[in-house]
Amino acid sequence: MSPLITATDLASTLGEVTLLDVRWRLGGPSGPSEFAAGHIPGAVYCDLDTALAAPAGAGGRHPLPSAEAFEASMRALGVSDERPVVVYDDWNSLAAARAWWCLRYFGHRDVRVLDGGLRAWTGELSKDASSVAPGDFTARPGGMPLIDADQAAILAEDGLLLDARAPERYRGEVEPVDPVAGHIPGAVNAPTTENLEPGGRFHQPEFLRERFNTLGAVEGIPVGAYCGSGVTAAHEVLALETAGIRASLYAGSWSEWITNPARPVEKS
């Protein structure tokens, strides 16, 4: 099953899925206020900072939440084990991809991202607060491959580690968020913007497969991805999954990597 769902297919199954609005963007407008101003009918707002991440610290700007915390958050949002989940945002599916990855990692088997996000939705929007019955989701870590800093360093040498950030951040020319610029030595730049068509939908699987093959994601080579804080890298993993390539996520990403001054930094 594709990890993506079209707006047309979502419209025909609205009453049969748990729909999470994950609007969030770095330095952008308030997700809850945008949700209140209009959302897909039946959606529930999911806050990335509190539901999809633990507090910032040594694990980076968006460390993974504990299984217990994630389970509690998802149950409060109405997520259940046997009910499909669809997630969306209005930020090129970057935040939605984080929700998709977290749900898959913690064991939900049926999660899809609305391809094209909110702008692909042509139906009416609702301003009503959705009533939510508690779900019965049980968090079971390990549903998606996860790597730590040491494993990321090894993968950059012996496999393929993709850096999902913009090229200028990868090269270390600018760093608007983290205190150190550069990238993990050996990582290959693969900006998430190149996963999408101009309208915001993901490229077709064949296109994505060719893209990642060209970058070195070929049969027999282990693949992983990282970014600044593990959010946009989930988008890379989602694109790879769409292309039929299973990849690991370095969730701590660059913001964790640089907390240890002994770890090398490359600029190019």
**Catalytic residue annotation:** 227
For residue 136, report the phi and psi dihedrals to the nearest 5 degrees: -120, 25
> Which one-letter DSSP state was computed for residue 89?
-
Burial class (CB in 10 A: 0-12, 13-18, 19+), 222: middle
Q: Count Cα atoms within 13 angstroms, Cβ side, for 169.
A: 18
**Tokens, residue 122:** 């042509």
- Strands 146-147 and 111-114 come out as unpaired
* Three-state DSSP state, 209: helix
- Taking the C-alpha atoms of residue 19 and residue 87, their distance in angstroms, rounded to an integer, is 6
Per the document, the length of the chain is 268
